[in-house]
Amino acid sequence: MNQNFQLIFFITIFLWKLFGNGKAEELFPVGVVLDTATLVGKMGTTSISMAVDEFYKTHQNYSTRLVIYTRDSKNDVVEAANEVMDLLNKKQVKAIIGPQKSSQAVFVSNLGDKAKVPIISFSTSSPVLSSITTPYFLRSTVNDSAQLAAVSSITKLFGWRQVVPVYEDSEYGRDIVPYLVDELEKIDAKIPYRSVIALSVTDDQIKKELYKLMTMQTRVFLVHMSAPMASRLFMNVKQVGMMSKGYAWIMTDGIANIVDSFDPQVIDSMQGALGVKLHVPRTKELNEFSFRWKRRYQKEYPYEEPAELSVFGLWAYDTVFALAMAVEKASGSNGEVLKYIQEEKFNGMSGEFHFVDRQLKLSTLQVVNIVGIGGRGVGFWKPENGLITSTSSSSNNNGGLNPVIWPGESTEVPKGWEIPVSGKKLRVGVPVKDGFFEFVKVEHNPVTNGSIVTGFCIDVFDTVMQSLPYAVSYEYIPFEDSKGDSAGTYNELAYQVYLQKFDAVAGDMAIIANRSQFVDFTLPYTESGVVMTVPIQEDERMNAWIFLKPLALDLWLGSLGFFFLTALVVWLIEHRDNEKFKGSPCEQVGIVLYFTFSTLVFAHREKVESNFTRFVMIIWLFVVLILTQSYTASLTSMLTVQQLQPTVTEVEQLIRNGDSVGYHKGSFVKEMLINELHFDKSKLVALGGSDDYVEALSKGSRNNGVSAVFHEIPYMKLFLAKHCKSFMMVGPTYKTAGFGFVFPKGSPLVPDVSRAILNISQGSKMAGIEKKWIGYESKCQEQESPLNSHRLDFRSFAGLFLITGLTSIIASFIYLVWPAVLINFNIVKALTSKYFKKRDNTFEGTPVDDGSTSPVSTEANMSAIQSPVSEHHT
C-alpha cells in the first residue's frame, strides 16, 4: 500500500511539473570540470549540486533549469582539456564551470572561445589569465595580484626591507612573482632570493631548500602555493626549526582561504603565520547555509574528515546562482548567457557578486593570524583605506593591525633578518692607505699571519656594531694585493660590495653619488665638506709702520686738518687777552700747537680765559677720546691678526694666478676641482700623506709645489692638528656628505647601523674617539678663515668732526662779531635815552634846548657815547 502511494505521489509531482505551468522546463546542460580528489574540488562539487537544488526550490516559476555533468580533471592539464572536449561533443553542454587550476584554464579557455561556450572558473586566480583575450572565459574569483597590495602594506607596516617568496613551480606559483616585485618596489623593499619548490619534490628536498634559506639573512617569507604543497612545506618548516622566534611567514589567499580545513597537525605547524584572504561578512543567512553545507558535505563524503566551508565553496555556490539567472534571462542562448551573466549583480553568500573586466571585483581582504585551531582576524585591507583594524566606521579604525602572535609564541615583531645561523662572519673590507693612518691603519702580524686593523673609522665601526640590539659577527679584510699594497681606488673598493666579495666596508669612505648607484651608505659619522688649506705668512713690509694702519689715509688727513682748525680757533680767541698766547709769531704758533696737541694726552697746563675756548676744547676732547680709543682697539686687533695672514684667501685668486693646487691621491676631490671649481687639469697635483702636504705647500706653486691643498674636513683637521702654526683652512666649505659605512643594496643592516650612528654621535662616545685619534681641538684651537681687519676711515667719524668743526666755527664767529654788536647796542641805547629825556622835559614845561650846548652837557653826552667801548676794553 505504501509503495503504491509513493508511486502515485511521484507521478503526480512529475505531471504537475510537466504540465502545471503550461509548458515543460527547458534544460540547460552545464559541465563541471574539477579536481575532485582535492579539498577545493570536493567543496566545489558539493556547493554546485547544493546550489542547483536550492536555487530552483526558491525559483519554481523559472522555465529553464541547469543540468550538471561533473567530470574529474585528475589534476592534469591534458585531462582537463579532454574532459571539456567530451562535454562539448557528447553532452552538448552550453556552459562549463571550472577548471580548477590556472594552468588548466589557459588551454580550456581557448576551447570555450572556439565553441562559443562560456567557461566560468571560481578558483583560477593567476594574474596571467587577465591578459588572455578569450571573451568567453570568466572568473568568479579575485585576481591574485589584487592581494599583493595588502602584502606590501603588511611589509611596510613592520618595516621589513626584504621578502623571500616561496612558491611552487607552476603557472599558479610563478605568475605572481613579477607583480610582487612591482608592489615591493613601491615601498623600497627587495626580493633577495626566490625559493621555487617543484611539484614533484620530496620532503628531503624541501628540507634542503629550507636549510639554504636558514643560511641567508632574510627572515620574512611569502608562501604562494596550492593547499597540498603548503601543507607539506609547513610541516617541514616546523621540523627544521624555522617556525620560531625571529621568523615571519605570510600566506596568500590560496592557503589562507582554506586553512581552517587543514589537518590539525598542519595547522599546528603554521602557528604564528599571517594570511591574507577574502573577507566574507558573517550574516544569519551565511551561518544557516554553512550548517546545511557541512551536513551535505558529510553526506557526500562520509569517509572524509569534516571540512570547514571556505570562500571557494561560496564562490561556486554564487556562480551557479548567477548562471541560472542569466540562463533564464537569455532563454538558453549561449551568446546571451555570456552577456547576462556579466551583468548580474547581487549579494550572494560570498558577498557582493559582480563581474568587472570578466573577474570579480575586490572589496575587502582580511588579515588572519594562525593561532590555535585556525585563523584569528587581526585586521583588514581595503583598496581605498589600506590596513585598518576594523571595517566598522564606528570603531577605532586606525591604520595598522591588532596585536599579532608571531612564531615561537612571541609578541615581538620580527625585525626581518638575522645573521645566518651557519656562523658565517660578515666580511668587512678596509682600505689600505699610504697616509693619514689615524683613520685606518693595516698592520700585518707575522706570528699569526693575519692583519691588525686600527684607526678612527675602525673604532667608530666597532662602537656602532656593539651598540646594536643584537650580536653581529664580523672580520676585517684589507683590500690589498699580494704585496700588501692597496688593490685599487675607493670606488673599486665600494664596487667589491656590489660584487659580493665584501659584505660591508669600514673606512674613510666618502658618500658620493656615483658610489650610491651600486651600494647603500649609512648616515655619515663625520663632519662633511671639502676645504682649502694654505700656508700662513707674516707681512714683513708692514711691521715697521703698522701703527699707521689702523686709520685710513683720509682719516689721518681729516684728523690733522681738524687739529689745525681747532688750534687756529683757540689762538684766535685767546691771543688778545691771554698773556700765555702772546709773543712772537713763532712762539704763538708753537704754544697753540702744543696746547692743542697736549689734549691728546690730557696733559696741557695753559689756562684759557674765554668761555668760548673752553667750549671748543670740551668738544675737541670728546672727539680725541673716541679717536684714541678706536685707534687702540684697531691696532690691538691688527697686531693679533697680522700673524695669521694666509697666502691665499679665495679660489678665484688661485685660478686667476694660474697656481697649482693639490688633492689627495685617489680622492673624488679631483673631479670636484675640475667639474665644479673649474681648475685646469694641468694645475692639479696628486699628493700622498701629510708629509707630502707640508713639502708641497712649503715650496709653493712657483717652486714645483702647490699654493693650496683641497681635501675633506676630517683630513684637514688631522693635518692642522700637527701643523696649525704653519697652515690654516680658508675660504668657503664645499658641501659633501661625509664618511659613511658601505653595505649592499637593500641591506637590512643599514637602518639599524644608521640609528646607532645617530645615538653615539649625540653622546660622548664619538667625542672621545675623535679626541683619541684626531685631537684637533685639544692640540690646536680651530682657526677661522681670517679676514682683513677693517681700517677706520674718515666716514666712521664724520659726525664727530662735524660737531667739533661747527663748534669751532660758531665760537670764532661769535667771538669776532660780538664786540661790534655790543657797541651798536650801546649807541642805540644812548640815543634812545636822550630822545625820551627831551620829550619828557617838553611835557613838563621845561624850556626846549635851542641847539646851544653847555660845556657840562656836551661832556656828559660824550661820556655816555664812549662808555660802552671803554668798558669793553677795560
Q: What is the pLDDT of residue 357?
A: 86
50-54, 433-437, 693-697, 746-750: which has the highest mean pLDDT?
A: 50-54
Structure confidence at residue 397 as a pLDDT band (50, 70, 90) = low
Structure confidence at residue 835 as a pLDDT band (50, 70, 90) = low
Q: Name the pairing type of β-strands 684-687 and 661-664.
A: parallel
Q: Name the pairing type of β-strands 645-646 and 530-537.
A: antiparallel
Percentages of the chain per state (helix, strand, coil), in multiples of 5: 50, 20, 35
Segment 581-587 shows an average pLDDT of 64
Q: What is the pLDDT of residue 56?
A: 93
CA pair distance 405, 397, nearest whole angstrom: 21
Buried b (16+ CB within 10 A) or exposed e, 626-661: ebeebbeebbeebeeebeeebbbbebeebeeeebbb
Contact of 456 with 525, CB cutoff 8 Å: no
Q: What is the pLDDT of residue 451?
A: 86
Contact of 56 with 321, CB cutoff 8 Å: no
The tens digit of pLDDT for each residue in 255-272 reads 998 888 888 999 999 999
Q: What is the pLDDT of residue 594?
A: 64
Q: Is the pLDDT of residue 183 over 60?
A: yes
The tens digit of pLDDT for each residue in 42-73 reads 999 999 999 999 999 999 899 999 999 999 99
Q: What is the pLDDT of residue 615?
A: 75
Q: Is the pLDDT of residue 9 over 90?
A: no
Q: What is the dihedral of CA 281, 285, 287, 293, to 10 degrees?
A: -120
Q: What is the dihedral of CA 548, 553, 554, 557, to 10 degrees?
A: 70
The tens digit of pLDDT for each residue in 515-572 reads 988 999 999 998 878 889 888 876 544 455 666 677 777 877 887 777 777 777 777 7
Structure confidence at residue 440 as a pLDDT band (50, 70, 90) = very high
Q: In whole numbers, what is the pLDDT of the chain averaged over residues?
A: 81
- Bridge partners of 743? 520
Maximum C-alpha span of the chain = 192
Could you give the percent of the chain with pLDDT greater than 70? 78
Q: Name the pairing type of β-strands 504-505 and 426-431.
A: parallel
Backbone angles phi, psi at 141, to 5 degrees: -145, 180
Q: What is the pLDDT of residue 2?
A: 46
Structure confidence at residue 787 as a pLDDT band (50, 70, 90) = very low
Contact of 141 with 124, CB cutoff 8 Å: yes
Q: What is the pLDDT of residue 375?
A: 84
The size of the chain, in residues, is 874
Domains of the chain, each with CATH number or no CATH: 2-141+310-350 (3.40.50.2300), 144-292+361-388 (3.40.50.2300), 532-536+646-779 (3.40.190.10), 817-873 (no CATH)
Instruction: Give the Å distances, CA to CA, from 5 to 17, 19, 20.
Output: 18, 21, 21
Segment 176-182 shows an average pLDDT of 89
- Bridge partners of 557? none
Q: Is the pLDDT of residue 713 over 60?
A: yes
Instruction: Give the Å distances, CA to CA, from 441 to 168, 432, 478, 546.
Output: 50, 7, 10, 48
Of 673, 692, 693, whose CA–CA distance to 684 is shortest? 673
203-212, 438-447, 665-674: which has the highest mean pLDDT?
A: 203-212
Residue 385, C-beta contacts closer than 8 angstroms, at least 6 positions apart: 397, 399
Structure confidence at residue 502 as a pLDDT band (50, 70, 90) = very high
More confident residue, 655 or 793: 655
Cell of 198: 617543484
More confident residue, 697 or 564: 697
Q: What is the pLDDT of residue 197?
A: 93
CA pair distance 153, 146, nearest whole angstrom: 12
CA distance from start to end of the chain: 175
Instruction: Tell me 23's DSSP state.
Output: S
Q: 3-class secondary structure for 381-433?
A: EECCCEEECCCCCCCCCCECCCCCCECCCECCCCCCECCCCCCCCEEEEEECC
Segment 160-187 shows an average pLDDT of 90
Contact of 86 with 96, CB cutoff 8 Å: no
Structure confidence at residue 852 as a pLDDT band (50, 70, 90) = very low
The tens digit of pLDDT for each residue in 474-494 reads 899 999 988 888 888 889 999
Q: Is 751 helix (H, G, I), strand (E, B) or coil?
A: helix
Q: What is the pLDDT of residue 433?
A: 83
Q: Which stretch of 127-141, 430-444, 625-639 has the lowest confidence by average pLDDT?
A: 625-639
Using only the alpha carbons of the chain, give its radius of gyration.
52
Q: What is the pLDDT of residue 450?
A: 80
Q: Is the pLDDT of residue 786 over 50?
A: no
Q: What is the pLDDT of residue 495?
A: 93
Residue 6, C-beta contacts closer than 8 angstroms, at least 6 positions apart: none
Q: Is the pLDDT of residue 795 over 70?
A: no
More confident residue, 5 or 585: 585
Q: What is the pLDDT of residue 539?
A: 54
Structure confidence at residue 150 as a pLDDT band (50, 70, 90) = very high
CA pair distance 95, 116, nearest whole angstrom: 9
Q: What is the pLDDT of residue 49?
A: 94
Contact of 506 with 442, CB cutoff 8 Å: no
CA pair distance 162, 268, nearest whole angstrom: 26
Q: What is the pLDDT of residue 810?
A: 76
Q: What is the pLDDT of residue 120?
A: 94
Q: What is the pLDDT of residue 420?
A: 61
Cell of 88: 562539448
Q: Which stretch of 109-113, 534-538, 592-596 has the lowest confidence by average pLDDT?
A: 592-596
Q: Is the pLDDT of residue 785 over 50?
A: no
Of 348, 470, 325, 328, whose CA–CA distance to 412 is shortest? 470
Q: Is the pLDDT of residue 34 over 70?
A: yes
Segment 311-316 shows an average pLDDT of 92
Instruction: Tell me 530's DSSP state.
Output: E
The tens digit of pLDDT for each residue in 353-378 reads 989 888 888 888 999 999 988 888 99
The tens digit of pLDDT for each residue in 273-305 reads 999 998 988 889 999 999 999 999 999 999 888
Q: What is the pLDDT of residue 43?
A: 93
Q: What is the pLDDT of residue 818?
A: 64
CA pair distance 325, 64, nearest whole angstrom: 9
Contact of 100 with 121, CB cutoff 8 Å: yes
pTM value is: 0.60
